[in-house]
Chains A and B, each alone.
Chain A
Amino acid sequence: MFNTWTWISWLVASLIAVSTTRNPAYLILIFLCISLVNQEQRRKAKLGVDESLRIFPIDPFRLSLFIILISSLVNATLSHFGETVLFYLPIWIPYIGGAITLEAIVYGAINGLILSCIFSAFITINQALPVSNLIRLIPRAFHPVALVTSIAVTFVPVSLRQFNQIREAQAVRGHQVRGLSSWLPLLLPLLIGGLERAFSLAEAMTARGFVSGQPVVSELYTRLALAGGLFFTFAGWLLHLSGRGFVWGSVLMIIGLVAILGTLWIVSRQSLRTTYTRVSWSKRDLFVTGLSMMVAAAFLLPIPGIETNTLRYNPYPSLSLPPFDPLIGILILGLLAPLLNPRPSDQVTQL
């Protein structure tokens, strides 16, 4: 299994690539790369190669094809722009009446392709990372939230078991589920049982020393830094959107981000956390992360030799072949890096 941050870097690279281009040639390539990685995860999960992998009932590849189809159909019937008219729907039909154009179909397909890439990338991450790894991503500054999440995730199967016990006990007493009100004898004991467990848990936590009694109020400077950071981020975004201050907008956004993340980092350092297992970085982790960063850089930075103009594409008013820079194409293939299987020996666990 790869390091959690390796997967996160792969996800970020995929999202940056998808959100910075509308060129269908690149988008198809990105979609195929993400789908291949996803299918490999599903294959491993089905074979039971890695027990930490989860499998989802919906195949993201099929779901993506459905999304692309629906998006094309909806756009074709609702948007009547474009020069290549395929046929006409009767004009008296409200909203969808008019010319059905090839350009509208392609535009809809591009939208569907972007959505599919985003969905598939997130489904891949959800499959590849166990819930415990996702919880571990919660910063230390949010330790109460992390603790609540851990308790909730731990108690979900317990509560499910309790629900089944209540259902069986009520069935023995002759209870049958008929209509909404018949759910009350099932749900109320579940709630009461859960609250009783919360009571016991709180006492156990208190007995083990987890109690402050007084609310921990964040320091004044922390609050001001967070509020200021938010203000700068949003002001920068507005400037960015207006097109009147791209540079200043970016500067403000960076200041805001640094203020928020820096403050949370400082607060995190003040919170102690005991780590029982530590997953180290393997060479393959570094390789996959490096490739992912290269893909992100190719789409974000003005690198000499890369034709960033080819990232743009608009099928309107008349359809044309999308431009293609082979260098960008090769770099996109970097998203296939998670297909490299990490050796079991690469995963070092220290106690």
Chain B
Amino acid sequence: MNLRAQTSSFTSLIVYTLTTGLGLLSLFYPFFYLPVIHPAYGSQPRLGEMPLMLTLVLGLCLLVLIYEVQGQASNAKLIALLGILVAINSILRFAEVAFPGPGGFTPIFFLITLTGYVFGGRFGFLMGAMTLFVSALITGGVGPWLPSQMFTAGWVGMSAPLTRILIRPAKRGTRLEIIVLAAFSAIWGILYGAIMNLWTWPFLTGPAQLYWSPEAGALVAFQRYLAYYLVTSLVWDLAGAIGNIALMLFFGSPTLRTLRRFQNRFTFHYQLSDSDHSRPPMSSPVQME
């Protein structure tokens, strides 16, 4: 690898780390920023601006991350593939809005997980974020909550290739692969709800042992959030996790085979004519690690 490529990879890593880190800090601020609140200043005036500031910081992180990721998706094959897959997934979201499933069940994470797993983390991130964006445009769901939804759904797709650590190449296409992916999507079924709840939790008021207060430390805030989540959201999100498992067990195997078949088909090469031998060959497999 030459110096230019090494520098490019290094700065890319910095951008990924920074955007993901700041995105996490923005969402998890009830656990992190509390010790720096000045007691004399009070917390109430600052709370009012939280939703806007959170949206701003998360939106900026999302802009930068999408800008970085999209740099790898500038060929026709990836754009067409992503556009069509996002359209199909948006229909699933549309169906979910029209006919709500049990609890927090949503079918959109099925394709996000599988595309991230097959085509790579960057593709998975774009698939997650774009699905939420396009479905919000169609269903009229554009709002301050959208950046957090896009970011978290993007993380689902981006983290999907991590499951490959547990699945050796020899085990691909077996039952183990589907079980690991089902467990992964079940975990995200709960995590997605838990992360989304963090957006509203600091604004709710109620018994001290369940709700956020500025003077509570990070550990106490975490304990309170855990109690709040168990009481108010766990059952709701469990329905989502069970739904994700069911989708993966019933549809995972044939969908994976289909995506892999098309991944191979999309790896086509442009044949150069004799007069074009001076140009570099143009080929790009559909893989965005």
Contact = CB atoms under 8 A, between A and B. Distances in A.
B36 A242 contact: yes
Given A159-B88, A233-B60, A260-B63, A15 B70 contact: no
Contact of A153 (B57, B72, B134): B134
Interface string A181-193: 1011001101110
B282 interface: yes
Interface residues of A, number: 95
B246 interface: yes
Contacts of A90: none
A246 to B, nearest CB: 9
Contacts of A56: 140
A131 interface: yes
B79 A147 contact: yes
Contacts of B259: 195
A123 B136 CA distance: 11
Contacts of B48: 19-22
A211 B75 contact: yes
Contacts of A214: 280, 282, 284
Given A111-B203, A234-B25, A163 B91 contact: yes
A226 B86 contact: no
B130 interface: yes
Given A215-B74, A216-B71, A230-B22, A195 B84 contact: yes
Contact of A238 (B36, B73, B85, B282): B36
B38 A243 contact: yes
Interface stretch (B4-12, B166-174, B186-194): B4-12
Nearest to A210: B76
A57 to B, nearest CB: 9
Contacts of B42: 243
B134 to A, nearest CB: 5
Interface in A20-41: 20-22
A255 interface: no
Closest 4 CB pairs of A and B: A151-B83, A243-B41, A213-B282, A78-B206
Interface of A: 15, 19-22, 54, 56, 74-75, 78-79, 95, 107-108, 111, 118-119, 122-123, 125-127, 131, 134-135, 141-142, 144-145, 147-156, 158-160, 163, 180-181, 183-184, 187-188, 190-192, 194-195, 197-199, 201-203, 205-206, 210-218, 220, 223-224, 226-227, 229-231, 233-234, 237-238, 240-244, 256-257, 260, 264, 267, 312, 314
Interface of B: 7-8, 11-12, 14-15, 18-19, 22, 25-26, 33, 36-38, 40-42, 44-46, 48-49, 51-53, 56-57, 60-61, 63-64, 66-68, 70-77, 79-88, 90-91, 94, 126, 130, 133-134, 137-138, 140-144, 203-207, 210, 246-247, 250-251, 254-255, 258-259, 262, 265-266, 270, 280-284
12 contacts: A19-B52, A56-B140, A79-B206, A134-B137, A148-B79, A148-B82, A155-B83, A155-B84, A206-B76, A211-B270, A226-B67, A234-B22
